[in-house]
Chains A and B, each alone.
Chain A
Amino acid sequence: MIDIGSVTPGFDLPDTSGERWGPVGGAATVIVFTCNHCPYALAWHDRLLAVARDYADRGVRVLLICSNDAERYPHDSFDAMRDRVEREGPWPAPYLHDETQDVARAYEAQTTPHVFLLDADGKVRYQGAPDADHGDESLNAGWLREALDLTLDGQPVVDALTKPVGCSIKWREA
């Protein structure tokens, strides 16, 4: 698991429109490993998009990344990602494809969703779940929001590490 305070690995991934994105930029960056097919990822999806909307004017970027093996899970293919954004979008956050799974591996992502909050220097300030319960929309990604507020104020995050909850990342078979 990536340590809190460590600098995150770089990456250069395309989103569903072809634009490329890396981990550093703006006042803070929220990276969410997610996917199309997982009920936990779907349950938290709107809450995470709300974070993207609510913090955009404070310079926060939210990057959604799908790393699942599309061969065994075609619902998570790049085409399926594009279709979903076309169907449900526009989203306030780009949806990136990690075809090689290198980024998920470098971040030691475990589940969909698995949230990482990076500060302006690319250091991890929070990782884990968006909030305590995928089934309770009123929680509003509160753990992530609290971590964002503290990070944007230059304060350390008190509960910087929570257990990610969701479907396992679908790794390619060796």
Chain B
Amino acid sequence: MAGRPLIELLWWDGCPSHPAALAELRAALAELGADPDAVVSRELRTDDEAGEARFVGSPTIRVDGRDLFPPGDDPVGLTCRVYRRRDGRVSPTPDPDDLRTALEEALNA
């Protein structure tokens, strides 16, 4: 895709993870030499909004509309996403190393 990529953080207020997700996303962008302020923060408030955005949980990070962590057949809805750290621990946010790797691949695609 030509031009500046659209980097989105989709979140829902029922999960307290979005501030950490935003901070970690901005940190990863800075590490990759990209603009940390380029993130578009988008709150989903209703089931209808979740359905329209194909939102499978908070936080969801997309680059040009593609989820950095493809959710498989997770159902759409206002919920919290479960991620795994590299050591296997459950986490409300992606592993920072996985995030950086996925982001780098997406930005270079």
Contacts and interface: CB of A to CB of B under 8 A. Distances in A.
Interface of A: 37-40, 42-43, 72-74, 134-135, 137, 165-168, 170
A37 B80 contact: yes
Interface residues of B, number: 16
A6 B11 CA distance: 37
Given A37-B80, A37-B82, A167-B80, A42 B16 contact: no
Nearest to A165: B16
B4 interface: no
A134 B14 contact: no
Given A166-B16, A168-B14, A135 B91 contact: yes
A42 B14 contact: no
Contact of B15 (A42, A135, A167): A167
B34 interface: no
Contact of B79 (A37, A43, A135): A37
Contacts of B81: 39
A39 B16 contact: no
